[in-house]
Structure 1
């Protein structure tokens, strides 16, 4: 008879003990409410609560990696793209994360989506593709400022993909090809200009020293002889022509 009486009492005591004793891990904190009023943040370790009087909500302080769903964005130059990103954030104030917002995970996710569309819509497509670091920093600063009231710290935002339709991909390919051709023509023109400048300098030097011209003439003959051509055309020096003309005049 006594055993039958004590069994329910033991069960009730065990239930009260289970409700009173909580164990929090190193990365967890407990937000405690006493009769519905906030009374403090406890943990990690062993936490003792007053059953039916105190309640505790667990908060994870580890960094959360959240994949922001793809968003349809219209850039400043009216190009439609789909952009997705990844968000890194963590709770730094458990009290505000539990009291100031109903669901801080959902709230942060929704805010990230709207901020992503807002920030990217202010930039051209070229900026989205070439200046991702700057855009990441802009989005991170805006999110961090707005989530501070919720006790959330946004550590980093990374834009993963900027998806374009096939028409825009072909247009960008044509633009890149035209840019490469332009650069090739500019480089070729700069090479011609430098070569002409060097030839002008060489002509100026050779014009000042006639013996240098003769050495150049002999060097050219040596190169032509080594080519083993069947026909060799020798340039006729103007000085030698003048010499023959003077000798003919004297013989008369």
Structure 2
């Protein structure tokens, strides 16, 4: 029997090494595209000082982040486990084109609210308001961010009107508390990375955070699909 006819029990390209290589390629490609998409805001954001007066400018630099996160969520969700499917760039571009309008309808109001919150926090001491007011503002910012995380996932993976996405995102804050808790942990880690390193480091590992967001949001996406889609 010719050695060429001996089968190892699986076809070429189906082994563990091929799967790991495919996954790494996919993650690196999506991460590179995310960085490229947020670069117009990332460069000035990194150059800004950590002064409270620059908080509104820092928030404005986050405008490109929403569509980039949405495109990454779309590209990661579209992968069905086929290691021969090496088209993450095409899926990222498709997700960006499909979702940019819907995402910005929610992302821009969220950033506007975040900017107001940042200004309020920057002037708490000067205004002489009680310290507990700062805690309330921070809680509001966290809740708004958790709502936005839900909204990003829903609008990236499903086709709903912006107002319906907003309602669903708010509904699932309470309906799937495990999702809110998981996303809160991701938020804490992200803030820690920015605080101890920089925004650039967070962007460098952004695809890992997006993957974790997609996984932690799975109970919510399952319920959306079962209860609110045909």
Q: TM-score normalized by structure 2? A: 0.28
Higher helix share: 2
Question: Which one has the largest radius of gyration?
Answer: 1
**Higher share of residues assigned strand:** 1
Q: TM-score, normalised by structure 1?
A: 0.26
Higher relative contact order (CA closer than 8 Å, sequence separation 6+): 2
